[in-house]
Amino acid sequence: MAIVKTQDRQLAMDKIRNIGIIAHIDAGKTTTSERILFYTGKSYKIGDIDDGNTQMDWMEQEKERGITIVSAATTTFWTPKLPKSLFTDQYRINLIDTPGHVDFTAEVERSLRVLDGGVTVLDAEEGVQSQSETVWRQADKYKVPRICFVNKMDKMGADFKHTLADVEEKLGAHTAIVTYPIGAENSFKGVVMLLEEQSVIWAGDETGAAYTVGPIPEDMIEEVARERAHLIEQICETDDVLLEKYLDGVVPTLVELKKALRAATIAYKLVPMYCGTSLRNKGVQPLLDGVVDYLPSPLDVPPAEGKVPGTDEVAIRKPDVKEPFAGLSFKIQADPHIGKLTYLRVYSGKITSGSYIYNATRDKTERVGRLVLMHANDREEVPEAVAGEIVGVVGMKDTRTGDTLCVPDHPIMLEGISFAEPVISLSIEPKTKADQEKMGMALARLAEEDPTFKIRTNQETGQTLIAGMGELHLEIIVDRMKREFNVDANVGNPQVAYRETITKDADAEGKYIKQSGGRGQYGHCYLRIKPLPRGEGVKFVNAIVGGVIPKEFITPVEKGVREALENGIIAGFNLVDIEVTLYDGSFHDVDSSEIAFKIAGSMAIQSAVRQATPIILEPIMKLEITTPEDFMGDVIGDISSKRGQVLGTSQRGNVRVINAIVPLSELSRYVTILRSMTQGRASSYMEMSHYDPVPSNIADKIINKENK
């Protein structure tokens, strides 16, 4: 069995848990993470978001705003403390605390890609909120087993059973209650461990380290017996051997039940449900035991699968130190002290500091300068990292997010990480001449870190445009430029990232001939275009047969096509969801060149798009508004005035929840507008939903404005 050496401790790989904390904004992810660090002995003082002294939210902007912006990784150790735990050894937990705000969804996406298990934190009063659904779907995409922690059981309106029903209905998960609350709201004081048939009660709110394990409270015996019987039935239904026993009237042992629940969790047949209140320091120790008991080790998840570069041959890497090294870079961080830091999940083999590894994605060799274990923004140097670990690598120059790293003699290309496209942009210019060069460098460094942050230059005006996932995202980028890179900049008003697309098929010819004495230029091609479904992007198909265009000129045609599409045809916006087929053309033995075919490709695509009835698309946002009943009419009226569509309303406690879709162009400064409309009592959450055609009267205004 592979051995992990860290902090002079040797742990077998089955004693590692790579987990992430995921949830809606304000559900209590960072607070829960801080309690985990305190109870595992990683920190000696509980961090508080309101005081700005949390370990996981270490950036100045995070402390000021009380939100998580970047995912923070840490390594800590836990030995299950409660009686009757399935495991009693020491376990290593590699923990990633992710942001809840949709503007930083890339941080969640890349974290889930490399994690083995997840802890979803839910607000006991709010239930399943929009971002909870989004992160759940992201976890589904990467098949990440998870457990749930129903937090804020001390909050007014907290309802454990309602939250469970929400999880079943909205997320389609099969919940299995592992800890049952004793009381709710002000009277919440502990939990009943259903399988163990014992209560865990916390004396006070102070640090939560002191608790007593005892019998089930008298007034809950019947209720607990009913819930426990249901849980046993649920577990037995996932295991044929236990089901047979159960049907024969034999109750399986505690160890059998826990092992079956572990297998069911890893197979995503059941989702164990825990409850507590992180802020009041109650319920976190059972949750930590649950991470160890039910979430997978690197040995419990399927081996990493990829392809041999340049072929369709499938390659497998098992989580074993004896296998050839393979890992995935999932995050780049610009560190002011040590330069570029690359976060790496090691899937097989081992990596040592000072060695050389191969970047299969970019076909480059990289040197591993130093290896570090991360604790938020603190680092601990280690000599090597082996399968199952998450480490930081210092010294890699060309590696980007989603790149596969391996050994040259056993190359493999693992599945990368896909990110959403930006939906909003703004112009930015340096305040002084001295800031000009610094700004270019700062933006490049920040774009390297964040795959959803894009930079481009408007060729006509020379303006630099930056694009991101929302106003907050771009605000943070500009703030980081000022603080971390000392660059002062003037920024324009946010602009919506419109797109262009076509609505019908078209054909066109592109012919570029230039004769001005000496060698001329000759490029000639025929293109056929057709619309694709939303989200398909741009596909280029080479259908040339018989060598009518030589191979070396095909790529230049594609480059010309893609560049023209990037700059748009009718209003300068990126053209998407189109298939371009190069099917004919001709060449000249002497005069044909790459540049001539690139220009011919550009001419042909522009002509074809104009014939294909192009339209403008706009981003449509999913909007969730929580408002007191009194203001519901005003809020719905306002949504209608913004070209929005109300999808439905529901009751949550004593407030109403309105779900709607609204064009992003109508939502500028919406949070401020909503607050003033509802005396500051309503809150909203928005995330990207899809792109839709812009109504023709608005499209005309956009085209006229862009073409001025």
Instruction: Return the pLDDT at 462.
Output: 67
Instruction: Return the pLDDT at 377.
Output: 55
In a domain, 495, yes or no: no
**Please, which pLDDT band fits residue 493 given cuts at 50, 70 and 90?**
confident
Instruction: Return the pLDDT at 404.
Output: 93
Q: Does 482 lie in the same domain as 512?
A: no
| Helix, strand, coil % over all residues of the chain, rounded to 5 | 30, 35, 35
Give the highest mean pLDDT range of 10-24, 269-283, 325-339: 269-283
In a domain, 3, yes or no: no
CATH of residue 602's domain is: 3.30.230.10
pLDDT digits (tens, 9 = 90+) for 32-73: 888 888 888 754 444 444 444 444 433 454 444 444 445 567
Tell me, what DSSP letter sits at residue 574? P
In a domain, 57, yes or no: yes
Instruction: Return the pLDDT at 5.
Output: 42
Mean pLDDT over each residue of the chain, to the nearest integer = 84
Instruction: Return the pLDDT at 517.
Output: 62
Which strand ranges, in their side-by-side order, compose the sheet holding 578-586?
506-514, 521-531, 578-586, 538-542
Q: Does 140 lie in the same domain as 194?
A: yes
pLDDT digits (tens, 9 = 90+) for 102-155: 566 677 777 888 889 999 999 998 888 877 887 888 888 888 999 999 999 998
In a domain, 2, yes or no: no
List the structure tokens of 526. 């025929």
Q: Does 171 lie in the same domain as 53?
A: yes
In a domain, 299, yes or no: no
CATH of residue 438's domain is: 3.30.70.870
Q: Of 588, 613, 638, which residue sits at a domain end? A: 613
- For residue 174, pLDDT over 90 is answered with yes
Q: Of 584, 613, 642, which residue sits at a domain end? A: 613
Q: Does 544 lie in the same domain as 563?
A: yes
Q: What is the mean pLDDT of residues 573-598?
A: 92
Q: Does 48 lie in the same domain as 86?
A: yes
CB 385 within 8 A of CB 344: yes
Lowest mean pLDDT: which of 336-345, 535-544, 550-559? 336-345
Q: Does 180 lie in the same domain as 285?
A: yes
Nearest residue to 26 via CA among 107, 118, 102: 102
Q: What is the mean pLDDT of residues 273-292?
A: 91
- For residue 258, pLDDT over 90 is answered with yes
CB 533 within 8 A of CB 664: no
CB 532 within 8 A of CB 578: yes
Domain that holds residue 355: 304-414
What is the share, in percent, of the chain residues with pLDDT greater than 70?
89
Instruction: Return the pLDDT at 599.
Output: 95
Instruction: Return the pLDDT at 707.
Output: 66
Q: Does 665 lie in the same domain as 609?
A: no
What is the share, in percent, of the chain residues with pLDDT greater than 90?
39
Q: Does 581 lie in the same domain as 539?
A: yes
Its pTM stands at 0.75
Nearest residue to 499 via CA among 413, 336, 618: 618
CATH of residue 253's domain is: 3.40.50.300
Instruction: Return the pLDDT at 55.
Output: 43
- For residue 421, pLDDT over 90 is answered with no
Choice between 533 and 672, residue whose per-residue pLDDT is larger: 533
Instruction: Return the pLDDT at 614.
Output: 92
Give the highest mean pLDDT range of 104-113, 216-225, 371-380, 518-527: 216-225
Lowest mean pLDDT: which of 153-162, 199-208, 643-652? 199-208
Q: What is the mean pLDDT of residues 290-307?
A: 92
Tell me, what DSSP letter sits at residue 187? G
3-state secondary structure of 309: coil
- For residue 205, pLDDT over 70 is answered with no
CB 232 within 8 A of CB 251: yes
CATH of residue 623's domain is: 3.30.70.240
CB 261 within 8 A of CB 176: yes
Question: What sign for the dihedral angle of Cα 690, 692, 697, 699?
Answer: positive
In a domain, 449, yes or no: yes
Q: Where are the beta strands (DSSP E) in 432-498?
A: 454-457, 464-468, 489-491, 495-496
How many domains does the structure of the chain reveal? Answer: 5
Q: What is the mean pLDDT of residues 627-655?
A: 89
- For residue 591, pLDDT over 60 is answered with yes
Largest CA distance in the chain: 102
Lowest mean pLDDT: which of 383-387, 525-529, 603-607? 383-387
Q: Does 279 lie in the same domain as 174?
A: yes
pLDDT digits (tens, 9 = 90+) for 427-465: 888 888 778 778 888 888 888 888 888 888 766 566 788
- For residue 290, pLDDT over 90 is answered with yes
Choice between 421 and 206, residue whose per-residue pLDDT is larger: 421
Q: DSSP characters for 272-289?
A: EEEE-BTTTTBSHHHHHH
In a domain, 677, yes or no: yes
Residues in the chain: 708
Instruction: Return the pLDDT at 572.
Output: 83
**Please, which pLDDT band fits residue 620 given cuts at 50, 70 and 90?**
very high
- For residue 538, pLDDT over 60 is answered with yes
- For residue 168, pLDDT over 70 is answered with yes
In a domain, 4, yes or no: no
Taking the chain, what is the end-to-end CA distance rounded to the nearest angstrom?
68
Q: Of 414, 434, 449, which residue sits at a domain end? A: 414
For 365-402, what is the HEC assignment?
EEECCEEEEEECCEEEEECEEECCCEEEEECCCCCCCC
Q: Does 221 lie in the same domain as 130?
A: yes
Q: Does 654 lie in the same domain as 514?
A: no
Q: What is the mean pLDDT of residues 263-288?
A: 92
Q: Does 138 lie in the same domain as 226?
A: yes
Instruction: Return the pLDDT at 63.
Output: 45
**Please, which pLDDT band fits residue 348 given cuts at 50, 70 and 90?**
very high
- For residue 686, pLDDT over 90 is answered with no
Choice between 519 and 228, residue whose per-residue pLDDT is larger: 228
Instruction: Return the pLDDT at 228.
Output: 94
